[in-house]
Every structure is written in structure tokens, then in C-alpha cells.
Amino acid sequence: MTDYRLLKLRSGEEIIAVVSGKTSSEIKLNRPMQMRLTTLHDPLTGAIVKENWMLRNWIPNTNENDCIIPLDFIVYSLEPNDESIFQYELEKEREDNPPPPRKAVSPEGSSLVLEQLFRQLGLDLPDEENPKTPENITPDMLNNFVMMNFTMSKQLFSKLMEEGVFEEEIPFDDFGFDEEEEPDRNPESEDWGNKWSDWPDNLDDYL
């Protein structure tokens, strides 16, 4: 029978391991792993939403699987529950069978990704014979991507399209915009200030 033990050390660390040997003064541990509790908090109330135990190898940077520690370095020794044993065995399996490294996306693969994106947005595919790539954009720049996420008002987005920031007009439907215009609003409205459109886009207006 496998002797799983949950140990609290005098250093404050908590480890889980299999006891593979023991003397009157020492204990031999196989594949010891440190356990750390991580918490997820609600950003509004600060209350703890979820707690998870994270496991990592307690003796990294070595090919050895066993280590010996003195018994007087242990504060207490307990039998772990089934969930802790399951996570421990799962983490050992992950260490023994790491996932293969991700392959870099080739230029051909990047083209397929862009083609799928254009089709999902309902846009015409770029003309390969007459590409509209500016002269100062090199192929190396096109093969290195930066993903950004930002928000802007519908009016500002329309203004950027009018100014030619975007080469082609992009349908608002593709971004979930509502084409229906709201009735004119003014500061006399009862709910003035409750909609984002009531506030100016220009930061100087707030100064």
C-alpha cells in the first residue's frame, strides 16, 4: 500500500509525498511536491470566490526522485484526502509526460488565419495580385502580430473610417452595433448622464 503523507515543515512549507523509507531520525520521501493555496477574489466585494491548491516539484533541478529530511524538521504528518492524492498523481503524470512544444505559425498558416478572419467578418479577401500594403511595411512585420483589445464610441469609430484610417468600410453589424439611432438627447433629459453617449469624446472637455 502506498504511504501518502501530507507534511508541514518547520520552514512553513506544506508538501505531499510518498514515504519510501524511515529511520528513528530521518524520513525518505519520493517525489515530494510543495502545495500552495491560491485564491480568486471578487473584484467588487473582495470576497473569496474560489480556492485552488497548486503543486510543484519540491526538489527541482535534479534527476533524483528521493530526498531525506530529518524528522525534527517536520511539524506534523497527516494522511491526505482523496482529492489531494488525485491532484498529486495528476501532477506527477504531467511532469512525466509534458505536452509537446507549440509550433510557430508559418507564413502560410498566418495567411489561412487571416483568410478565416476576413470570411467571418464578411469582408472581401485582399487581392493577391494588387495588394494594398504600404511601401514601408515589410514582410517581417506582417509575420509578427500584436493582439490588442480596446473600446471606443461608435461616433469616434465612424470618424476614423471617414478620415481613412481604415482602408475599407467595415459593417457595424459585424461588431454588434445597433444601427438604429436614438432620439436627440439633451442635458434636460431626466436620465442625462446615464448613457455613455451623453459624455464628450474629447478629453479637453473635462478640464
Per-residue confidence (pLDDT) for residue 196, from 0 to 100: 67
Query: Where do the domains of the chain lie, and which CATH numbers do they carry?
Result: 4-96 (2.30.30.100)
Q: What is the dihedral of CA 77, 83, 89, 93, to 10 degrees?
A: -150
pLDDT in tens, 37-57: 888 887 778 788 788 889 999
pLDDT in tens, 140-156: 655 666 666 767 777 77
Name the pTM for this structure. Answer: 0.49
Beta strands 48-57; 66-70: pairing state: unpaired
CA-based angle 9:12:16, to the nearest 5?
A: 50
Using an 8 Å Cβ cutoff, are 35 and 58 in contact? no
For 41, which DSSP code? E
Per-residue confidence (pLDDT) for residue 81, from 0 to 100: 93
pLDDT in tens, 56-96: 999 999 999 999 999 999 999 999 999 999 999 999 999 99
- Give the span between the Cα atoms of 98 and 59, in whole angstroms: 17
* pLDDT reading at 174 higher than 60: no
Tell me which amino acid residue 171 is: P
Q: Which residue has the higher pLDDT, 91 or 192?
A: 91
Mean pLDDT over all residues of the chain? 77
Q: Give the Cβ contact number of residue 161 at 10 Å.
A: 15
CA dihedral over 135, 141, 142, 145, signed as positive or negative? negative
CA dihedral over 102, 107, 109, 113, signed as positive or negative? positive
pLDDT in tens, 94-149: 999 988 876 655 555 566 766 776 676 666 665 555 555 455 556 665 566 666 67
Per-residue confidence (pLDDT) for residue 99, from 0 to 100: 82
